[in-house]
Amino acid sequence: MRVRILRQQTSLSESYWENFRVDVPKDMTVAGLLDHINFNDDIIDENGNKTTRIGWECSCLQGICGACAMVINDIPALACETFIKDLKKDEITIRPLRKFPVIHDLIVDRSVIHENLKKINLYIGEYHPVKAKNLKKAEKEHRQQYDVAKCLKCGICLEVCPNYVNGNSFFGALFANECYLVSSRNETEKKEILKNYEKHFGNTCSKSFSCMDLCPMKIQTIASVAGLNKNSFHN
Amino acid sequence: MESALVIGSGIAGMSSAVELAGKGVKVQLFSPFPSERSQSVMAAGGINAVLKGHEEGDSIASHIEDTLKGGRYIAGERAVRGLCEGAEDIIDHLEKIGTVFSVNESGRPDRRAFGGQSHKRTCYCGASTGKQIVSALIMEVRRFEAKGIIERKLWRFFHSALIKDGVCYGALLFNEITGKLEAYCADAVIIATGGQNKLFGKTTGSTQCDGYAAARLFMQGAKLKNLEFIQYHPTAMETYQKKMLISEAVRGEGGRLFYCEGENRVYFMEEKYGSGGNLMTRDVISREIDAVKKDVFLDISFLGRKEIERRIPEVKDTCLKYRGIDICNEPIPISPAVHFFMGGLAVHLNHETNIRNLFAIGECASMYHGANRLGGNSLLAAIYGGRVAAGEISGRRVERESINYADILEHENERLDMLRQSKSSFPVNYIRDMVADTMNRDLGIVRNREALERGISDIDYYLSVADRISYDSSVLMYANYSLKGILTLAKATLISAEFRKESRGSHFRSDYPKESKDYEASSIISYNDGKFDVCLDKESVYES
């Protein structure tokens, strides 16, 4: 199997493609594949030339930390839960997420995500939940809050979003979900949050919701948006 | 005190940072990656606390006794008492800051049963308790970041502490973006860098936790405690990329362990221990699996698809996703895997190490768990320890002494430059892999003198070449400079295991299979210019 990897030695150097030939089981993940290439003492490319180890980020290796987000065969995904057998082509192309600055090979700097959340100063502070009308609704809200708090901040929703460019003004789905979580668990914060939500998400989102198709935690951003719009209406 | 460095931004690090900030202490919070990548997010099960409306018969005294008993009576009684008494307030605080707990009819955190505990007292958030707490704490940290009281600094790896005459004044951090060492001074330093997973290669935990910070501090004069106590989780599933934890909940729901003899299944735990055999403690089951010397499986298929999907959906998904195994129809192949380190930096009741103004919290500190940890007590200890350290620091008077770190910084930068030039036939990653092989072979579930001495001899060899490794520019600088510390920690762990000539909790010696009164104390190991000294803390100098 041929593996093409877009590499970049430092944040300032040029990127280039490097190809590898590997023979690995199909039920291995892309994380396992990268480990396999890196495991040898000498790393050899497809032409038999010695090269350097491939830089990539990982921590949990089981889909709950978001470190290994990258673009695999043109689709942003977590390497640790993308299986070779599920990839349609015989050739695998791997590149870093495109909407974040590259630090080294497949490692990108996603600090804009945290900087934007910090800028808006989103936090629950005191638990003052919005009172649901009935038990069923309360359970539904609780489920959505639980799901949203599982957000990995991996950046995949931003990578796939047609509206997200660089995080200067539009902050993307993870921001909308965070707004929902905070406003639903602390009613007193709602007004200020809604203002920022409109400015940095609501007014720009074209509702393609491609973010939901690829979210590793399957967060239903549309439900968060509905919750926030409902709050908007009440105000 | 007015300022603190917190190194590590998982649950322990963030808890201490928030607590310090709340008391007006300025915090710089360092980690290589954001908190979402910390091992804390992997803690699934829950957090123990005896709350109002507890199960009949439960009490704080019962939580204390369960914890001490689980730790085979070498954890500090006063420390454990503080932990258990502080638990309810911690749950209240986590609720207040918006943690999404699974709740009961009255809207309070629901509780589930956990191994080794006499009552149902483990509060939980579905199957992602750690992650939900991390999410809530990140927001709290953000609140103080906005006020300028906490400053987060990413891409910083711990290098060493700034220590003079037994007092800590700050730390050197390596910035992987600029490729330079940076010096930071503060009134106090808190280490919250997690356990030493990477000594063993593939474990159930994060690849980021390697024990280097504790190792380097050990080489700088900090004492380490109870390193020999390593918890093996009996049911992990091997995958190409890691050992995937199969939750204790499977056995809780009736899962049966067996191996095959010809066509027949041998339910070895039930045969030996009766109907409750599959629910024996983690250390007992791990040893029994190890003794079988055959492929062992865990079967839950008899529960039926509907109940499996209702009660343990995450386990079903994990097995299907990573091994293509449908647990509704077939058993799960399992084996024990390294899961938690009870040992680490030796700390006093206030979480201060033997070096003044240097504190340690969370898994990198050895406290509360003795010879074995109860499920649900690690999240509690991480938060409680963070609060205790923060309380001590905020209440302490500022000492106006300082350190001239310019010479230290220059010296350490020169050493890194020398490392960058080094070339030999020993690539750093090769040695790291070899260390993991040695540790898994010689410091397994069942230990003996011969194996431990062989392990020490192997590590000695790697230590002899550690100063002339082949520098690998394609891995992090950190991976290069941390090697010697990791080897030193590996050796200290093997020496501690050899020293304890008895079997207690998670430490089992085939040549000393009985628990001995003579060893009913923590082991303390210290380092002085290449020399290791180990003794028992019979006077309870630490954890008291």
Question: Which of B164, B176, B172 has the alpha carbon at shortest distance from B213?
Answer: B172
- The model's pLDDT over B352-379, given as tens digits with 9 standing for 90+, comes to 999 999 999 999 999 999 999 998 999 9
Q: Which residues of A touch B427 (CB under 8 A)?
A: 41
Q: Which residues of B touch A27 (CB under 8 A)?
A: 240, 323-324
| ipTM exceeds 0.90 | yes
pLDDT at B350 over 80: yes
Q: What is the arithmetic mean of pLDDT over A175-180?
A: 96
Name residue B446's amino acid: V
Q: Which CATH class for the B422-514 domain? A: mainly alpha
Alpha carbons within 13 A on the beta-carbon side of A11: 11
- The model's pLDDT over B497-542, given as tens digits with 9 standing for 90+, comes to 999 999 999 999 999 999 999 999 999 999 999 999 999 999 999 9
Q: Please state the domain extents for chain B.
A: 3-225+342-395, 233-337, 422-514
CB B209 within 8 A of CB B196: yes
Question: B145: nearest CA in chain A?
Answer: A118
| B50 token code pair | 């005896």
Rounded distance between C-alpha atoms, residue B541 and residue B544, angstroms: 6
Question: Which of B113, B94, B136, B1 has the alpha carbon at shortest distance from B54?
Answer: B113
Mutation choice for A interface testing from B145, B157, B241, B320 by most A CBs within 10 A: B241
Question: Which of B536, B457, B537, B531 has the alpha carbon at shortest distance from B494?
Answer: B457
pLDDT at A41 over 80: no
Rounded distance between C-alpha atoms, residue B204 and residue B202, angstroms: 7
- The model's pLDDT over B260-287, given as tens digits with 9 standing for 90+, comes to 999 999 999 999 999 889 988 888 999 9
Long-range contacts of B251-256 (CB under 8 A, 24+ apart): B251/B278, B251/B279, B251/B298, B252/B113, B252/B115, B252/B279, B253/B300, B253/B303, B253/B307, B253/B311, B253/B312, B254/B278, B254/B300, B254/B302, B254/B303, B255/B298, B255/B299, B255/B300, B256/B298, B256/B299, B256/B300
pLDDT at A230 over 50: yes
pLDDT at B225 over 90: yes
pLDDT at B184 over 50: yes
- The model's pLDDT over B448-472, given as tens digits with 9 standing for 90+, comes to 999 999 999 999 999 998 877 778 8
Q: Which CATH class for the B233-337 domain? A: alpha beta
**Where are the strands (E) in B348-407, listed by range?**
358-360, 365-366
Question: Between A29, A81, A153, which is nearest B36 by CB?
Answer: A153
Q: Which residues of A touch B137 (CB under 8 A)?
A: none
Instruction: Check B142 against A122: CB less than 8 A apart.
Output: yes
- Residue B425: the pLDDT is 66
Question: Between B95, B208, B241, which is nearest A29 by CB?
Answer: B241
- Residue A190: the pLDDT is 85
Rounded distance between C-alpha atoms, residue B238 and residue B296, angstroms: 12
- The model's pLDDT over B405-449, given as tens digits with 9 standing for 90+, comes to 999 999 999 999 988 888 776 778 888 899 999 999 999 999 999
Q: What is the arithmetic mean of pLDDT over B130-159?
A: 96
CB count within 10 Å of CB A230 equals: 11
Give the distance from residue B400's alpha carbon to the nearest chain A alpha carbon, in angstroms: 33
pLDDT at A231 over 70: no
Question: According to CATH, what is the number of the domain B3-225+342-395?
Answer: 3.50.50.60
CB B172 within 8 A of CB B159: yes
Task: Give residue A232's pLDDT band: very low, low, confident or very high (50, 70, 90).
Answer: low
Instruction: Check A123 against B42: CB less than 8 A apart.
Output: no
- Residue A131: the pLDDT is 79
Name all domains of chain A by residue range, CATH numbers in brackets. Answer: 2-108 (3.10.20.30), 111-234 (1.10.1060.10)
Question: A32: nearest CA in chain B?
Answer: B241
In chain B, what percentage of residues exceed pLDDT 70?
A: 100
B415 is catalytic: no
pLDDT at B217 over 70: yes
CB B8 within 8 A of CB B192: yes
Instruction: Check A59 against B38: CB less than 8 A apart.
Output: yes
**Where are the strands (E) in B165-315, listed by range?**
167-175, 180-185, 188-191, 224-225, 230-238, 243-245, 256-261, 264-266, 296-299
Mutation choice for A interface testing from B474, B475, B476, B477 by most A CBs within 10 A: B474
Average pLDDT, chain B: 94
Task: Give residue A152's pLDDT band: very low, low, confident or very high (50, 70, 90).
Answer: very high
